[in-house]
Amino acid sequence: MNDTEIFKTFLLINPKYFKISVQNRSNSKIIYEQKKNYK
Amino acid sequence: MNKKKIINDDSNDINFKKLKDFLEENIFKIEKVLENFIKDIILIIDFDIFFKVQISVKKNSTKNLSNSNDLSYLLNETKDLCSETINGKKIVHMLIDNYQVDKKNYSELPKDLEYDYLSLDVSFICLPNDVTKSLEETFKSYQISITQIISTDYIKDFFSNEDSDYVTLAKKLLEGCNQNEVVLVKKTQKIQGFFEKFFHLYS
């Protein structure tokens, strides 16, 4: 992948966990997702 | 205590130490998968750290202006008023709660309506400076800029009957599903983009 515009990165910051999700901009396919509880 | 102080066990404060650890664990992995750098990020924040400012403004029609010109003028004026009131704190959402046209209330502005008097009730969801600064600094160390901050309270209010996860719902908002949210863009970007989504009402 050469074009950074083809994906969107979301980070959910919650009192109990973080969740990062990288998705393809055009078809919303999840490229990477990770959730971690810290409490 | 650390200058960024929002490092504690209070569930109303973002734990920046844990956030940094999480980013450390994931950013490079993601960039490896993408074979590219992450340049920007959308933050969805599920903490009770936002505050709301509500402003009502009115304008008498000058007759030779279209609805959209009047509305743009009012929205610009309202945003400037809010910025002055909150003294530089970050506006993350600007929402039109009510349109009053010649004393009648509407949830959306009626199209092609001639009127003498237009009034708007506008809500601003804002974030304190210390939080904004700490977030920007955290991501700056990865050369990542924050393109958007979304409040989960706003997501919950708007999608009260939907059961999807926050990321899915945030994406819908970014795609413009709330016709009454005014998209705010940085002044360095082209001016006509400021109310870009709003003008879709008239297309």
Q: pLDDT tens digits, residue range B112-128?
A: 777 788 889 999 999 99
ipTM of the complex: 0.89
Which amino acid, residue A11? Answer: L
Report how far residue B57's alpha carbon sits from residue B67's, in angstroms, rounded to the nearest whole number: 15
Tell me how close the Cα of B172 comes to any Cα of chain A, in angstroms: 11
Handedness of CA B134, B135, B138, B142 (dihedral sign): negative
The percent of residues above 70 in pLDDT, for chain B, comes to 80
Q: Which residues of A touch B38 (CB under 8 A)?
A: 4, 9, 22
Q: In terms of DSSP bridges, do strands A7-13 and A17-24 run parallel, antiparallel, or are they unpaired? A: antiparallel
Q: In terms of DSSP bridges, do strands B51-60 and B117-127 run parallel, antiparallel, or are they unpaired? A: antiparallel
A37: which strand partners? A17
Query: CB neighbours of B95 closer than 8 A, spacing ≥ 6?
Result: B122, B123, B124, B125, B154, B178, B180, B181, B182
pLDDT tens track for A19-32: 999 999 888 899 99
Instruction: Please indicate whether residue B67 or residue B46 has the higher confidence score (pLDDT).
Output: B46
**Rg of chain A (C-alpha set):** 12
Report how far residue B40's alpha carbon sits from residue B141's, in angstroms, rounded to the nearest whole number: 12
- Interchain CB distance below 8 Å, A36 and B41: no
Residue B192, classed as helix, strand or coil, is: helix
Residue B30, classed as helix, strand or coil, is: helix
Selected for mutation to probe chain A from B8, B12, B46, B155 (highest A CB count within 10 Å) is B46
Tell me how close the Cα of B168 comes to any Cα of chain A, in angstroms: 9
Structure tokens at B70: 């009047």
Interface check B41 vs A, CB under 8 A: yes
Q: Which residues of A touch B173 (CB under 8 A)?
A: none
The percent of residues above 90 in pLDDT, for chain B, comes to 61
Q: Which residues of A touch B11 (CB under 8 A)?
A: 15
H-helix or E-strand spanning residue B181: strand B181-182
Domain residue ranges of chain A, discontinuous segments joined by +: 4-37
- Interchain CB distance below 8 Å, B44 and A13: yes
CB B116 within 8 A of CB B60: yes
- Interchain CB distance below 8 Å, B47 and A1: no
Q: Is the pLDDT of residue B63 over 70?
A: no
pLDDT tens track for B87-98: 879 999 999 999
Instruction: Select the residue of B11, B25, B44 nearest A11 (Cβ to Cβ).
Output: B44
**Can you list the domains of chain B with their CATH numbers?**
40-203 (3.30.1490.110)
pLDDT tens track for B134-151: 999 999 999 999 999 999
